[in-house]
Amino acid sequence: MVYLTRRERFNAAHKLWVKDWSKKKNKAVFGKCANKNWHGHNYDLFVTVKGTPDPLTGFVMDAKKLSTLIKKEVTDHLDHANLNLDVKFIPKDLQPTTENLVILIWKQLAPHLKDCQLHAIKLYETENIFAEYLGE
């Protein structure tokens, strides 16, 4: 089994807030991510597929096709968007955290992979914080 990873980037705004909590509690839990008038992150998305290299091409999957798929199904929707308001595949009642985004991104991509399997979605919100989802 060989694992192939493609990186894509997007920039997006969000705000983390629980409406039934006080401002003080929201600030205590979410920090700057609870700022009143939104803020942005420069996200790095790593999509890993797995499979056996094709005997002729040597590819697990054509990395350019994987890039096109990620753009069409994921980053074209997220890039320069407000993650709380603008994205059809993010439920309005769900906190747009990196943890929730990796699950949603998995659901966007998994049905479209035919000759290999999705292995992992890894999403960096900052260079020091990332979430990873392996489909379970």
Q: How far is CA 128 from the centre of its chain?
A: 16
Residue closest to Ni ion, measured at CB: 33
> Which of 33, 61, 109, 116 is the binder for Ni ion (CB under 5 A)?
33
Q: Note whether 47 binds Ni ion by CB under 5 A.
A: no
Choices 33-41, 59-67, 72-80, 91-99 (CB under 5 A): range interacting with Ni ion: 33-41
CA distance 81 to 59: 33
Number of shown-chain residues binding Ni ion (CB under 5 A): 1
Instruction: Note if 99 is an active site residue.
Output: no
Shortest Å, Cβ 106 to Ni ion: 21
Nearest to 66 by CA among 128, 21, 24, 3: 3
Smallest gap from residue 131 Cβ to Ni ion (A): 13
Tokens linked to 47: 């999509």
Q: Which stretch binds Ni ion (CB under 5 A): 28-36, 56-64, 78-86, 110-118?
A: 28-36
118's tokens: 């999705």
Residue 13 tokens read as: 């705004």
| Angle made by CA atoms 14, 129, 118, in degrees to the nearest 5 | 90
DSSP, res 24: H
Q: Where along the sequence are the contacts to Ni ion (CB under 5 A)?
A: 33
Q: Which residues are catalytic?
A: 33, 80, 125
